[in-house]
Amino acid sequence: MAAQEAGGVGRAAACLCVLCGLPAAGKSSLALRLLRGAAHRGWRASVVPYDDLILGQAFHTRVVEGDGVISSNVIVPSGANNLIHTEWRLHRQAVLRCIERFLENPQPSAQLPDGCPLNKAAWEQCIQALLQSEAVDRSAAGQAPLVLLLDDNFYYPSMRYEVYQLARKYSLGFCQVYLQCDVESCISRNQTRSKPIPSVVILEMVNRLESPNPQKYSWETNSISINTTGNLSTCDIQRVIELISSSLCNPLSPSVDNTEQKEADRLKCATSVVHQTDQACRRHISEAMKTARENQVAPEQMRSLAAQLSASKATFLETLRRQLFHEASFTQDEDVDIDRVVKRAVDVFDHEKKEILLRIIGEKQ
């Protein structure tokens, strides 16, 4: 749908601003100051806080045991959602769907669709902020620029690219602000929170987080980095405000050039490989559990086997994901044999699976 057809968005400039960085890097603090700066400029602005919108059940783990999938009672902190399988990705997609639904019909009273898994109260608070900004000057509300500040870690480029695609679809402005903060400061700030996440989650994310890289991804050109180890300065806020202002004045075009299409195809292909490999690895785990039962492995060792295989799969898929999403040569050729790539990857995991299984069976004897 073109911007002109997207309800109120076609009548006023709009921008999606991605705030990314480590947990406790200062994204929420920055967002609050940006809201004040937006109000000063007469913009309608609101924060889209992923941590508040995504409910706790999104982080319940699912452990493969035997031939079925059993939900455990363990909850994974938001920063660790890729360590083991969760429903987290589906909830992230739901956030973008709600934003898109609002863009199509930007009414302050917009409600979540039936069946949406997100936090209704948090979404209403997000929309309420826009309602309050419109109340300041209702005569100009329909023409006032709209700014949505997306507050999340966004540690993979693929996460940020989804937001870029949404902005391009509706001819919106798009920009990114990377909050660069040393890990010690993040851990220290996190410990002062009412509900701190485990420090190991932050340490793990240090290895996963990839800041915007315009040299590698042309769609990340409209990005800046600010150092948030210390206090945010007025200059920092001004830089971000100017970035958003420039994005509002230079919305994306719905047309897709060849470079962006190649990048989209690469991400799609890599995602398919990871998904198919995940499914195949699950089948291998089920086979290993069946073999262990046939060898009369004790229940306690069966649980240990399930946990080790699940952890091995998570680590293996994470390594595979990093390789596929960051090897620019991947899918450069027009024809990519995905089945062959998946088979090679699964063979590697199968070797790891056999080693774990033999070790457990050996402990039984």
**Which pLDDT tens digit goes with each residue over 236-283?**
999 999 999 999 999 998 865 566 667 777 777 888 888 888 999 999
**Which pLDDT tens digit goes with each residue over 144-154?**
899 999 999 99
Q: How many whole angstroms separate alpha carbon 136 and alpha carbon 22?
A: 34
Top-confidence residue, 320 or 338: 320
Residue 135 has pLDDT above 60, yes or no: no
At 68, the pLDDT band (50, 70, 90 cuts) reads very low
Q: How many whole angstroms separate alpha carbon 361 and alpha carbon 292?
A: 7
Q: How many whole angstroms separate alpha carbon 175 and alpha carbon 189?
A: 26
Q: What is the mean pLDDT of residues 27-45?
A: 93
| Helix residue ranges per DSSP H, the chain | 27-41, 50-53, 88-104, 120-136, 157-169, 183-191, 199-208, 234-249, 258-294, 299-326, 338-364
How many Å from the N-terminal Cα to the C-terminal Cα in the chain?
64
Look over the chain and give the mean of its residue pLDDT values, rounded to a whole number: 80
- Predicted pLDDT of residue 326: 65
| CATH architecture, domain 3-249 | 3-Layer(aba) Sandwich (3.40)
- CB-based contacts of 67, cutoff 8 Å, min separation 6: 286, 289, 290
- CB-based contacts of 4, cutoff 8 Å, min separation 6: 10
Q: What is the mean pLDDT of residues 276-304?
A: 89
- Predicted pLDDT of residue 321: 83
Do 266 and 330 form a contact (C-beta atoms < 8 A)?
Answer: yes
**Which pLDDT tens digit goes with each residue over 334-363?**
456 778 788 888 888 888 888 888 888 876
Q: Where are the domains of the chain?
A: 3-249, 258-364
Top-confidence residue, 206 or 64: 206
